[in-house]
Structure 1
């Protein structure tokens, strides 16, 4: 029997789970349109949802998190200030078109540089609900999140635009003119991490991705890996200045592995969380919100 439908809906991704009475996955969909593609459909977000999981929706409670609650999403929910946990997120659910939307989080809303997240808070809650301890959480992506949990609550976070900057540099600057596709080079990535951990202005060190290639000291098919390592290395080196306690990476695939490698190069052991953190977070929030 279906107890809950959970949805993690991002800018370019869509994942949904039909869950049973104990939160177990009965059925899963992982290939739906992200919010940018869904918003362009004739029926918008509602049609996109019906196309992917319409057969599930028989009155079962539905809960969703991610960029679907942003200004570009289905409904814009408010940002919840820190500290927060599953119970506070449950109290702040927004009911819209029959769906319970999880709000985002805001750090230092009245300060000189407020920061926000949507979706990552649910993944962190999922880790904590699964018995994971406090410490530093790193969620790689287009906009990486560095978050700190204490006492089972999210207490601080900041955003680093590493992924977006990498894409822009590779595709839209002179650094990318020499880049050629290749099988991937772990050595070039680690070499980049070493360059990224060095002192000095990052914008100056980035240019080495071009000059090393010009001097025939970096093969063209390794430039992208070197540049990725340099940017991630700089991010990790600066992030560790404020780090204490265990480090957990919440992410999937190659990107999570790259961050784990970068931490290792800098002498830090980081664990990669098992898959399913968003789903587990949605279940815990729904449970505390009385949806199931």
Structure 2
């Protein structure tokens, strides 16, 4: 295989890169906990050189927060609707160390008079479409979950929910997490029937009526009264927050809610949790195959003429 393109998904907390041939087949790959916030002194050029500088001198395309105001080079947000061709036309080229890196722009949307933005997810959506995916409603779980509508193979609307970030803040810095056992960052969590039941219980609480922050306090009171084990608090709160998000998004976006079929673009346990929440809310859910960011980078690169 002959190397033709380097695709990089460089987010807030992680770095993923793929060396690909002209068909998109992966020749080499790299994943590192080297998100933009961990690059000392903002030396992104140095980080790039250390991580993939040894790869062949082929065109480079990068998406994610690396193209934000806090990243290496800011690629302006593009208004909706968007597809791979529009993203390709908006690429921002930057020369560094003898190479040219092409940064993928983000997307600008909004509803109810309030603006909304995404960076990185638009590339995953482009990848899903390039891989033969159909129109419909999508959710991309993460620190800031994105709910996106695809019509005519274009991104036409989206909304953001800060569920992942809210969960992290509540568990680490609020009274809700005080009774939960301390965990070492990165420590694997053992899956148990009790934890799965706690998550399901949280989903039910998340779909209930009333103010979210009032219901969230039950993560503490259930533990205080002996009705929730300490090591199940996190799973219960996760279910509650995800359940509230899914129910609110499906109910509050009529255009998104018909038909109730949702594609989840994500990895690991979080994607499975969103699929479970969607099922509890009466929607059918499918989890997209892995590799959507890589597919999207290749699709945008091809549209831009970076590869034949």
For the aligned pair, the TM-score class normalised by the smaller chain equals over 0.9
> Across the two proteins, how many residue pairs are aligned to each other?
288
Q: How big is the shift at 1:54?
A: 1.0
Contact residue 124 and residue 292 of structure 2 kept, 8 A: yes
Match of 1:263 in 2: 278
1:92 matches 2:94 = no
* Residues 231, 32 of structure 1: alpha-carbon distance in 2 compared, 3 angstrom cutoff: closer
1:165 matches 2:179 = no
Match of 2:55 in 1: 56
Query: Which whole-Å CA distance do the structure 1 matches of 2:176 and 2:82 have between them?
Result: 41
Match of 1:121 in 2: 122
Query: Which whole-Å CA distance do the structure 2 matches of 1:54 and 1:280 have between them?
Result: 22
RMSD between superposed Cα atoms in Å = 1.4
Query: Which whole-Å CA distance do the structure 1 matches of 2:181 and 2:150 have between them?
Result: 41
Contact residue 4 and residue 62 of structure 1 kept, 8 A: yes
Match of 1:68 in 2: 66
Q: How big is the shift at 1:265?
A: 2.0
TM-score of the two chains, using structure 1 as the length reference: 0.95
Structure 1 consecutive aligned stretches of length 4 or more whose deviation exceeds 3 Å: 181-184
Contact residue 166 and residue 227 of structure 1 kept, 8 A: yes
Query: Which whole-Å CA distance do the structure 2 matches of 1:39 and 1:125 have between them?
Result: 31
Query: Which whole-Å CA distance do the structure 1 matches of 2:76 and 2:53 have between them?
Result: 27
Gap runs ≥5 in structure 1: none
Contact residue 110 and residue 159 of structure 2 kept, 8 A: no
Q: How big is the shift at 1:266?
A: 2.1
Q: In structure 2, the residue corresponding to 1:23 is in which secondary structure?
A: coil
Query: Which whole-Å CA distance do the structure 2 matches of 1:39 and 1:64 have between them?
Result: 19
Match of 1:230 in 2: 240
Match of 2:250 in 1: 240
> Which stretch of the first structure deviates more once superposed, 178-187 or 157-166?
178-187
Query: Which whole-Å CA distance do the structure 2 matches of 1:244 and 1:279 have between them?
Result: 29
Q: How big is the shift at 1:180?
A: 2.2
Contact residue 80 and residue 104 of structure 1 kept, 8 A: yes
Q: In structure 2, the residue corresponding to 1:271 is in which secondary structure?
A: strand
TM-score of the two chains, using structure 2 as the length reference: 0.91
2:287 to 266, 272, 278: 272
> Which stretch of the first structure deviates more once superposed, 61-70 or 214-223?
214-223
Q: How big is the shift at 1:39?
A: 4.4
